[in-house]
Structure 1
Amino acid sequence: MHTVAILALDHVVAADMAIPIDVFRRARLADGRRPYRVRVCAPTPRVDCETFTLTAPYGLEALREADTIVVPGCSEEAPPPGEEVLDALREAAAAGTRIASVCTGAFTLAAAGLLDGLSATTHWLAAPRLAEMFPLVDVRPDVLYVDNGQILTSAGASAGLDLCLHIIRRDLGSAVAADSARLSVTPLEREGGQAQFIVHTQPPVPRGSLLEPVLAWIEDNLDRELTLAEMARRGGMSERTFSRRFREQLGTTPLQWLLRARVRRAQFLLETTDHGVERIAAQAGFGSPTAFRERFKRVVGVTPQAYRSSFRAGASGGIVRPRSHRDEAGVRI
């Protein structure tokens, strides 16, 4: 049997840990045999979680016997992993053991130096911090998982499920992986990446800024064809001054800000209305349905129709994210 060791550290996220345990434990071959042996191990016998205390049956020595190690994420309150943990992961990597992380478990792999020079992902909210703390890591916040061969990383907890199914398919083929996906009531492959779940907030405007009323006016007129000259005139500035202040205060260009606002408006309409693509394209200010589809997929990672299927109430069991086009609260992860 292939041994999978789940490394539980203090403040481990329960879902990040439970998903690989469940997916690998329930996997079955065509003849009914279980191909994976799952072991939960920890540096200490007792692991403090946010809502319970876990008793781990195995210590770090179990990592030496594992064929695959999975490192779940930990909450922000978690202390840095101890050197004994990092050394055990480095030793396992040097021995050729496959090592995967779920969500913020990537921080533990990065701390051990296992992600240096590699592409990696984590939850999109934590991606900027991972990139800042570990500049040698090529952080990919827009994907569900990254497979570097021996080292693999995944985004949030549900992306950990995608990664586990990918590993099963790599090990045992598509038929076994498809059966595992059905047991988990999930598709074997999801369309798009992590980008579809990201709330694309605009940079905050400094209070009292001359740009504040201009931005509110832009939001109220997204269905119109807006030019740089018109926006600058609305702000009482020349185009050059307007562009310079925009970049200084918001860190982006007026055009990029406008395109993001149009995409957010389109997301809101896809989630809360039954309007067709042509109508939404017009309401969000895109020149044509084709331009709308291309821009939307480039930013969100999926087509408008696929996005609606995931987030529209009543469509394939989806839910509406409760926000207006100006309210960025609420996101389904």
Structure 2
Amino acid sequence: MTLPFLGPLALSGFAHAWYFLYLLVVLGLVAAYVVVQFGRHRRVLRFANMELLQRVAPAAPRRRWRHVPAILLVISLATLAIALAAPTHDVRIPRNRAVVMLVIDVSESMVATDVPPSRLAAAKEAGKQFADELTPGISLGLVAFGGSATLLVSPTTNRAAMKTAIDGLKPEERTATGEGIFTALQAIASVDAVMGGGDTPAPAHIVLESDGAETIPRNPDEPRGAYTAARSAKDQGVAISTISFGTPDGVVGIEGQQVPVPVDDATLQHITDISGGQTFHAGNLDELKKAYAALQQQIGYETIRGDASQAWIRLGALLMAAAVLASVLTNQRVPV
């Protein structure tokens, strides 16, 4: 829960939970208050002249509200005890140390125009937008694969170089998805060797966009196949998120003939199942941009435990002030 004045009140844990022992003090104050009120009640009953008692006793409405200041005071002390326990809440912050490899299929099927103006042209536009919107501190690299795979941009924070390389993508024959993944893994390993800023390797992620099944090799489980590459990624702790891009109606002209190139979801789904990550299907440019936007939110940010005590301190102070005000209004004195 978030209130503008107070801040986030949602909790995900406590850094110093032993401070909750102060709640025993609060319980002691409650017990003392009850004892004092019970003693007052007994003294009142000793009055013999009930008519006089009714004249000097507070009016019924005032008696009804006379415990409100004490209740507010107890709640404020309990709230401050929570603040002392250093509550935490989940905070999403931009990553400033991570590697993302964008692996794009440039096989001949990507010239199909079922996604106007073509699958490849739409992939270029969405890829450049992804590069622009990805958290600036993340190193982004580019691999293009057709019959072979080429590292076009080593992981870098230079988004201009990335977009220039995406603009230069050209179609090639055949589809070697496994080679694309292996090339991306090699680039990640290379940058890990030189990237500082931590005791552990920077978190890495592969985003694979393709429209068809692998053709080199024919069996994805062969040593250089897509499924073998996905298993290697899993062993290295690199998740692969995939975007299958296109429609079942895609065709390309090859040697004067119209050859169907329907999108293949199954291969990419299995790659994700093996390695982890998310699977997306995009049948048009808008869906492709949405897939990249979802990935940007997932990859570009991390969730950490942040301090939430300030909100509880403000709430405790507000309740204490309310207790003082209520006491002045109902009892004409500060609560004791």
Q: Same fold (TM over 0.5)?
A: no
Higher helix share: 2
Higher strand share: 2
> TM-score, structure 2 length as denominator?
0.31
> TM-score, structure 1 length as denominator?
0.32
Q: Higher Cα Rg: structure 1 or 2?
A: 2
Structure number with greater CO (CA < 8 Å, separation at least 6) is: 2
